[in-house]
A and B are shown apart, each in its own frame.
Chain A
Amino acid sequence: MLTGAQIALESLIREGVDTIFGYPGGANLWLYRYLPDYPALHHVLVRHEQGGAHAADGYARSKRGSVGVVFATSGPGALNLVTGLATAYMDSVPVVAITGQVPSTAIGTDSFQESDVIGSTMSVVKHSYLITRVEDIAPTIQEAFHIARTGRPGPVLIDFPKDLQAAVSAFNYPDTPVRRRSYPAPPRPDPAKLRQIAELIKGAKRPVILAGRGVLIARAEEELAELAHQAHIPVGWTLLGTGAFPVTDPMALQMVGFMGAGYTNKAVCEADVLIMVGMRCDDRVTTRLDSFAPRVEHLVHIDIDPAEIGKNVIPHVSVVADAKVALRELNLLVEPKREHQWLTQIDQWKEEHPVRFTNHTGLLQPQQVLEEMYARCEDEAIVLADVGQNQIWAALWFSYRKPGLFLNSGGTGTMGYAFPASMGAKLANPHKTVFCVTGEGGFVMNMQEMATMVENNIDVNVIILNNSSLGMVRQFQDDFYDGVRSAVDLTFTPDFVKLGDAFGMKAMSTDRLEDVGRMLDEAMAHKGPVLLNFNIDPDANVYPIVPLGKGMLDFVEAS
C-alpha cells in the first residue's frame, strides 16, 4: 500500500519523467515529503512558480517527445502558473502541472489558500483534472501525460487535494494504453487530398511553402526539406517555425509576416500555390488579412488540429493529420520539377530586400552581438529568445545550415519566458550549448531564477541586449503613437554585473564590439551560468516591419 503522494511520484517515473520544476507549500507537502525517496526524480526548486512553468515548457520544447512537469501548491502557488500555462497552451507545448489543493472536504469553504484552480486555468490548458479518489491518481496521471503529448500537444493540469495525497491505496499502474472515445487518435491524411496537392504542385508556377511550429513538434524537418528539394519550392516560416528549415538552403526564404523578411512577404503575395504546414496563420503572419496571399489560386493547409483549418484563412484543400505523416506520404506523390522563372524572381527579391541592419551611430548594434553568437552555435546550440526587439532580431539572424531549435513565446509573447525556459532546455540537453537572448526588461521579470541557475550550476549563456528601454514598445510609440515615449524608459535597471555577483553568477558587461567575441568565448568556456550584458544602441529598431493596420507588402526596411 502506498500513499497518494507516493502513487503520484511512482506514476511520474512510469511516464518517463526525470526532472520536476517546483515550489512547495501547505497543500503539496505530502508530495514533498516523499520526493526525496525517489532519486530518479530530480527536483529543481525554482524561485517563483512562473519560472517553474516556463522551465517545464523549455524542457519539453527542447527535448521533443518529453513532457515538462511542474509542481505548485494551492492558491497563490497554482495561480502563479497561469501565465506559464497560457504560454505553453498557445505554443502547443506538452506540460503537466500538478497543483496541491486544500483537502477535498474543505473545497468550497474558502479555506486557507484555496482557489478555484480548475476554473482559473480552464481556458489556458488542453485539459484538467480534479482528483477525487485515491484510486484515480495513477490512471489520471497516465491519461494526463497521454493528452499532453499526443495530437496537438498542450498543457494539462491535475489538481490534487491534500487529503488524497495522504490517503493510502494499492498501486497499480495501468498496463494498457489510454483509451477514451472522446479523444480519438489523429486521423491519417486523406490520400485523395494528398494526390490533389501533388497535382497542384505539379501545375504550380509560383509555389511557396510556409512552415510553422507544427513541423518542429512533429519532427518533420526532413520531410519538409525533401518536399522543398524535390519540387524546388521556396520555404518560409513563422516566428515559431524558425529552425524548421535550414536558413542557408537555396530554397530558404525567411520569416514571414509582420516583422518578416521583405522577400518572404513578396513571395507569399505572388504565390499561386501556397502550402501552409503546422501553423495557425495568426495576425502576426497575415498582417491585414486581405493583404495575405492575394494572388493565390490554391491555398493548402495541413494541420493536426481541425479547428485551425479555416479559422483565419479558408484553404481550398486541407489535410488534417500529423505533419510528418502527411509530408512523408505527400512526398511519395510529388514529381521532381523546377520553376526556373519563379526561382530567379525569388533570388532577385532576396537581393533587393536582404535582411540587414544599418549603423548610424557607431554604437554597438544588437545584430553584431547576435552574429558573433550564432558564429559560435555551430548549427547545434539551442537558442531561446525572450519577447520584444531582442526576439525578432534573434529570429531574423538565426542562420543555421541545418534544422535547429529556436525557442520563444511566439503565441502569447510572454516577457520573462526565455530565462527560466533556458534552464529547462539545458537540463533536458546537458550536452548542448544553450544561449538565452533577452531584453533587460524581460530578464528582470524572472531574474529570481538566477538563484536556481547558480544552485544547480545550469550552464546557460545569457545574453542581455540592453537598450535601457522597453525597446519594442518604444519603437511602436515612435512610429505609430505620435512619437510620444511613455513608460518605456528603463534607465533604472540594475547593474547586471553587480547583480550577477549578488547571486554568485559570473557576469560581464560591455558596450564595445571588440569585447563581444572574447566575452562569448569566456562564457562558453565557463562551466556554469554566465550573464553577458551588452549595452546596445538604444535607438536600434526592428526592420523590416509592417506598420500597424497595413498589409504584407507595406513593409518598411532598414534605411
Chain B
Amino acid sequence: MTESRLLSVLVDNKPGVLQRVASMIRRRGFNIDSLSVGPTDDDTISRMTITVHVGRQQAEQATKQLAKLIDVITIDDITGLRNVAHELVLVRMHAPPGERTELLNLVDIFRGRIVDVAASSVIIEVTGSAEKIDNFIELMRPYGIKELARSGVVALVRGDQARIRLMDFAIDGDEPQTEPSRVAGVAGDTTGAV
C-alpha cells in the first residue's frame, strides 16, 4: 500500500543540491508529488518540503538515502504529525466586470484574495492545505480558469519547539555520539522492529 509522505529536509544552500535530491528520489524509484525549496532564516541553509508517494518501508529507504547525500543536513518525516502544511495557488479567472460578485463570494469563503484585476479577468490567491486548494480549484472550474500556478507544500510542525536543532548534529572531529539519527522522526523505523 502506498501513501503520501511529507518530508522536511534541511540542506546546505549550495548549487546543484536540488538536482542531487531529485535525482536520488528518481533513482530509487520513488514518485515526487510535490517539492518546494526556499531559503531559511540561516542563509547557508535551504529547506525542501517534499511529498512523495511511497510504501511505508520505501519511505524509510527514501529518507535514509536522502540523509546520506552529503549536502543534506537532516531530514524529518513529518507525515501524520500535528503540522501546518500549506500550499499557495494563483488562479487567473475569466471574470468580465458584470460577473464578478459570485466569484468574489467564493474567494471570501476560502479566505482568498484578489491580487490583480484586469479588464476581463482577475488573479486570485488562496493558501491552505493541498485538499483545500484542490476543492477551491474544482469550484473555480465552471467559471473558466485561464491559468493556474501552485507552489507545492511547505510545512512546519506545530508547537513551541523547533523540530531540529542544528547543534544536535555532531560535526566530524567531535566525539561521535551513539547513533545520532540524521533521520528525525521516521515512522516505522525498522531497526528493532520484527
To the question of whether A and B form a pair in one complex, the answer is: yes
Task: Point out residues on A near B: beta carbons under 8 Å.
Answer: 118-119, 122-123, 126-127, 130, 146-147, 150, 177-191, 305-307, 309-311, 314-318, 320-321
From A118, A188, A310, contact of B60 by CB (8 A)? A310
What are 22 of the A-B contact pairs (CB < 8 Å)? A118-B16, A122-B19, A130-B15, A179-B171, A179-B172, A180-B171, A181-B73, A182-B12, A182-B70, A182-B72, A184-B180, A186-B176, A187-B176, A187-B177, A188-B179, A307-B67, A310-B57, A310-B61, A314-B194, A315-B190, A316-B192, A316-B193
Please report the C-alpha to C-alpha distance between residue A306 and residue B182 in the assembled complex, in whole angstroms. 10
- Convert B1-38 into 0s and 1s, putting 1 for each residue whose CB lies closer than 8 angstroms to a CB of A: 00000000001100110011001100100000000000
Residues of B contacting A177 with CB < 8 Å?
Answer: 172-173
Residues of A contacting B170 with CB < 8 Å?
Answer: 184-185
Chain A residue with Cβ nearest B66: A307
B71 to chain A, nearest CB (A): 6
B19–A147 CB distance below 8 A: no
B65 CB within 8 Å of chain A: yes
A126–B191 CB distance below 8 A: no
Most chain A beta-carbon neighbours within 10 Å: one of B16, B169, B172, B194: B172
Chain B residue with Cβ nearest A196: B192
B158 CB within 8 Å of chain A: no
Please report the C-alpha to C-alpha distance between residue A123 and residue B190 in the assembled complex, in whole angstroms. 25
Please report the C-alpha to C-alpha distance between residue A275 and residue B119 in the assembled complex, in whole angstroms. 73
A311–B178 CB distance below 8 A: no
Please report the C-alpha to C-alpha distance between residue A185 and residue B172 in the assembled complex, in whole angstroms. 5
Most chain B beta-carbon neighbours within 10 Å: one of A130, A187, A306, A320: A306
Residues of A contacting B23 with CB < 8 Å?
Answer: 122-123
B183 CB within 8 Å of chain A: yes
Please report the C-alpha to C-alpha distance between residue A235 and residue B171 in the assembled complex, in whole angstroms. 36
Given contacts A309-B190, A310-B190, are A187 and B179 in contact (CB under 8 A)?
A: yes
B193–A123 CB distance below 8 A: no
Q: Which of B154-194 contact A (CB under 8 A)?
A: 166, 169-174, 176-180, 182-183, 190-194
Residues of B contacting A321 with CB < 8 Å?
Answer: 179
B174–A185 CB distance below 8 A: yes
Please report the C-alpha to C-alpha distance between residue A185 and residue B178 in the assembled complex, in whole angstroms. 11
Chain B residue with Cβ nearest A119: B19
Please report the C-alpha to C-alpha distance between residue A305 and residue B61 in the assembled complex, in whole angstroms. 12
- Convert B62-95 into 0s and 1s, putting 1 for each residue whose CB lies closer than 8 angstroms to a CB of A: 0011011011110000000000000000000000
Residues of A contacting B19 with CB < 8 Å?
Answer: 119, 122
Task: Point out residues on B near A: beta carbons under 8 Å.
Answer: 11-12, 15-16, 19-20, 23-24, 27, 57, 60-61, 64-65, 67-68, 70-73, 166, 169-174, 176-180, 182-183, 190-194
A184–B172 CB distance below 8 A: yes
Residues of A contacting B70 with CB < 8 Å?
Answer: 126-127, 147, 180, 182-183
Please report the C-alpha to C-alpha distance between residue A184 and residue B192 in the assembled complex, in whole angstroms. 23
A549 to chain B, nearest CB (A): 21
How many pairs of A and B residues are in contact by the CB < 8 Å rule? 102
Given contacts A182-B73, A311-B61, are A188 and B190 in contact (CB under 8 A)?
A: no
B178–A187 CB distance below 8 A: yes
B172–A187 CB distance below 8 A: no
Residues of B contacting A150 with CB < 8 Å?
Answer: 172
Chain A residue with Cβ nearest B167: A181
Chain A residue with Cβ nearest B72: A182
Most chain A beta-carbon neighbours within 10 Å: one of B27, B71, B178, B193: B178
A188–B172 CB distance below 8 A: no
Given contacts A126-B70, A307-B61, A316-B192, are A188 and B173 in contact (CB under 8 A)?
A: no
Nearest 4 Cβ contacts at the A-B interface: A310-B190, A307-B64, A185-B176, A127-B70
B71–A182 CB distance below 8 A: yes
Please report the C-alpha to C-alpha distance between residue A191 and residue B178 in the assembled complex, in whole angstroms. 8
Residues of A contacting B27 with CB < 8 Å?
Answer: 123
Please report the C-alpha to C-alpha distance between residue A549 and residue B156 in the assembled complex, in whole angstroms. 46
Chain B residue with Cβ nearest A152: B68
Given contacts A180-B171, A310-B191, are A188 and B177 in contact (CB under 8 A)?
A: yes
Most chain A beta-carbon neighbours within 10 Å: one of B70, B182, B194: B70
Please report the C-alpha to C-alpha distance between residue A126 and residue B174 in the assembled complex, in whole angstroms. 22
B14 to chain A, nearest CB (A): 9
Please report the C-alpha to C-alpha distance between residue A506 and residue B174 in the assembled complex, in whole angstroms. 53
A185–B12 CB distance below 8 A: no
Most chain B beta-carbon neighbours within 10 Å: one of A118, A181, A188, A310: A181
Instruction: Supply 10 further A-B pairs (C-beta < 8 A) apart from A180-B171, A187-B177.
Output: A123-B23, A185-B176, A186-B176, A187-B178, A188-B178, A307-B61, A307-B64, A309-B190, A314-B190, A320-B191
Given contacts A119-B19, A130-B16, are A184 and B178 in contact (CB under 8 A)?
A: no
B190–A184 CB distance below 8 A: no
Chain A residue with Cβ nearest B170: A184
Residues of A contacting B190 with CB < 8 Å?
Answer: 309-310, 314-315, 318
Chain B residue with Cβ nearest A156: B70
Chain B residue with Cβ nearest A316: B194
B68–A307 CB distance below 8 A: yes
B93 to chain A, nearest CB (A): 38
A209 to chain B, nearest CB (A): 20
Please report the C-alpha to C-alpha distance between residue A530 and residue B171 in the assembled complex, in whole angstroms. 49
B125 to chain A, nearest CB (A): 35
Please report the C-alpha to C-alpha distance between residue A183 and residue B11 in the assembled complex, in whole angstroms. 11
Most chain B beta-carbon neighbours within 10 Å: one of A122, A130, A189: A122
Please report the C-alpha to C-alpha distance between residue A189 and residue B173 in the assembled complex, in whole angstroms. 17
A308 to chain B, nearest CB (A): 9
B169–A181 CB distance below 8 A: yes
